[in-house]
Structure 1
Amino acid sequence: MSTTHTATVPSTARYRPARAFARHYLEMVVAMFVGMIALAPVWSWVAEWIGAIELFARPDLAALVMATDMTIAMSAWMRFRGHGWAPIAEMAAAMYLPFIILFVPLWAGLISEAALMVAGHLLMLVAMAGAMRLRPQEYTHAHHAAQQV
């Protein structure tokens, strides 16, 4: 009587891609927070310097500035970690599109400024996960810092 042995995959190996995906996602979210904190004072200073501080009172422009702050830092982090330009561009689109879509109901008076910010950020997080799902291989394995030549 012969028995066949089947190879079993250790349970930790099955979860490595999910952990890598979650780690990439969290790294980008942290980079976004760093961008908001670090770049917001720069925008305020520039707006004050050119005498356009009233522009920041507009919720649509404030949302675009905030998305830009987050995108700059997140894109820099992704590039440092070795991601290519296409995934970076997709992730940048995920940062802006939720807000741009919500501008229509904002301008129509259907949502408030607070709703724009809350819904925009929540939809941004969903859009980021969606962009990551477009390229699972990009986000389920370890990336290393880009080699400096």
Structure 2
Amino acid sequence: MAMAASTTEGEPMMDINTTPLIDVMLVLLIMFIITIPVQTHAVKLDLPVNDNSQNQPPPVDPVKNKVTIDPAGTVFWNGSPVTLPVLKQYLDLTQSMNPVPELHLQPDPQARYEVVDNVLAVTKRAQVEKMGFVGNEQFSNF
């Protein structure tokens, strides 16, 4: 197929020749790629040091775990005080174990119902399947 010329013979062509421009751009691109330093895959982070003497999280027992609530409203996980978000993390961890450990809930008779209700809501959100109340005989006098 021949291309039809829109100009007559002998007139100068008014279009810019882009071939040298593209060649120069490709050479510059290759030069930039070669001169870029090799990226390392290591990420240097200053991680916190785990101090074993204090604030060691209580281990998750693979058989049973006990959540207690004292009269002041403090929630304990296997004897160590925890907050509700930390309790949710522990419960999520237990639900991913095989077999799923039992959860024993033992609120104090003098504990506020609001705190016990919040703990029950956390256990429901964590979809705890094996849960039981321990020490119900202490409520028989009320």
TM-score by length of 1: 0.21
- Greater relative contact order structure (CA < 8 Å, 6+ sep): 1
Q: Which has the larger radius of gyration?
A: 2
Larger helix share, 1 or 2? 1
